[in-house]
Amino acid sequence: MRKVPCLLMGRYELRKVLGKGSFAKVYHARNVETGEEVAIKIMDKDHLAKSGAVPEQVTREIEIMHRVRHPHVVRIHEVMANKKSIFVVMEFVRGGSLDACLIRYAGRGIGEASARRVFQQLVSALEYCHSLGVYHRDIKPDNILIDDTGSIKVADFGLSALVGTAQQEALLHTVCGTPMYLAPEVLLRRGYDGAKADIWACGVVLFALAAGRFPFNRKDTSLYHRIHRCDYHCPPWFSGSLMRLVRRLLCPDPARRITMQQIKETPWFKKGFKEIPQSLGEPEQYDFDSDSENDSTVSLASSSEDVSSPVACVQHCGHSSRMHTSVSAPSLTTFESTSTAAVQGQPRMCRPKSLNAFDIIASSPSLSLSGLFEEPGEQMRFVSSAPVSKILSKLEEIAGHISFMARTKEYHMSIEETNNGNKGALLISAKIFELTPKLIMIRVCKKAGDNTVYQQFCNNQLKPGLYGLEDGLPEDSERIACNYR
């Protein structure tokens, strides 16, 4: 008899362990509903609590996941938790880490052209993160993954520091990261600029890629002396322009160290470089179901099993262990994922997902936990008796009036700004739910971009456009027709 797989949240089949850290294990897993392969980081709450990392570090990581969306940053699908563990479901990057590549090319490097391509993608990803006030602080080959196409994905923001817009000039004081990649000012414990520390680490990675060895490589205290003195030697095959760039990246004085913008202006970097859009990539690759507000359930499950066992806190043989998903949870249930072919070959969408009593209560602003991870006013809800097709058409019309791009998958629409702002392109999610057979709820929320631009869009385009669809509502509908969180 075929063994029934153990399922996490009723849909993730856990496979082999991909890696282990101080507080977590990362598993390769598969979504049994879609067949999609994912990686799941399982963090033990007790271990986190003993380290003093809860709740600040976990909350910070969730905040970062919610904000960072870039083609060269590992995509987060959802975050779940029970009484024992926290589960982070993320994109599975098949090619493994850059560290394995460095081992393969030890002593000779991967070649200057290949090193340039990796470095360009790394700089593009970090420049975007820095624009959001996010500093990685643990850039190293282990945290740089390679996908099937040979492109990189920056992973593991567990040590990241998020600096609010009112504190952009603030200095960080926590010494963290891997010693071999730490900038001199980080080792001095006098406060440091997170962006400059990341740039130093990028310099170490670039050197290692091109040289096949690390610039500072000692296992004793002499490592720190070499870093402070900037004591390294470039191999003879480095070009002059590469040596000059490395020298500016590994400048021990952070005030004189090269900036991200200056890196992009160097002749060595610009060769073959194409600016990467700071959005979600190509339209056909966008996964609407990886909404950071997807599923919710009622209660937390208790488990006595240790996180080292992949069976802990999972469903087995169809008996559920209820769990709580929480990036912006609790929230509403998601849409059905299946659809049937309509007449004349046109696809027909399934009905919107109906909401039960708990879903409706959870959508109340006063009871939602999403305020822990979202800026105020990031979410709106509308109620309408108009046909779903009319609502979708109206949303597309609103987007078209201001040259935004709208993409629809069943009853989930993505509206994206075509021009990037300082905080990246504005990305809006609109979901449609069935309250009753004749009453529809539209939930709109910002997924990425500038909150001010989002508020302007909601006040000037979205609200006026959707208010016209409210005919036929009950007399007290004025109160619930538009609900800002």
Q: Which residues are catalytic?
A: 138
Q: What gap in Å lies between CA 139 and CA 199, rounded to an integer?
A: 9
- Give the DSSP H/E element, type plus range, for residue 466: helix 463-467
Give the separation between CA 82 and CA 325, rounded to whole angstroms: 9
The DSSP bridge pattern shows strands 347-348 and 340-341 to be antiparallel
Residues 182, 227 contacting (CB under 8 angstroms): yes
Backbone CA torsion sign across 181, 187, 191, 196: negative
The answer to whether the beta carbons of residues 304 and 310 sit under 8 Å apart is no
Report the distance separating Cα 431 and Cα 444, nearest Å. 7
Distance CA 449, CA 454 (A): 8
> Which residues have CB under 8 Å from 463's CB, separation 6+?
380, 482
What does the alpha-carbon distance between residue 411 and residue 409 come to, in Å, rounded to a whole number?
6
3-state class (DSSP) for residue 399: helix
Residues 6+ apart with CB under 8 A from 221: none
264 is in an annotated binding site: no
Other CB atoms closer than 10 Å to residue 346's CB: what's the count? Answer: 7
* Bridge partners for 29 per DSSP: 14, 38
Residues 6+ apart with CB under 8 A from 285: none
Question: How is residue 327 annotated by DSSP?
Answer: S
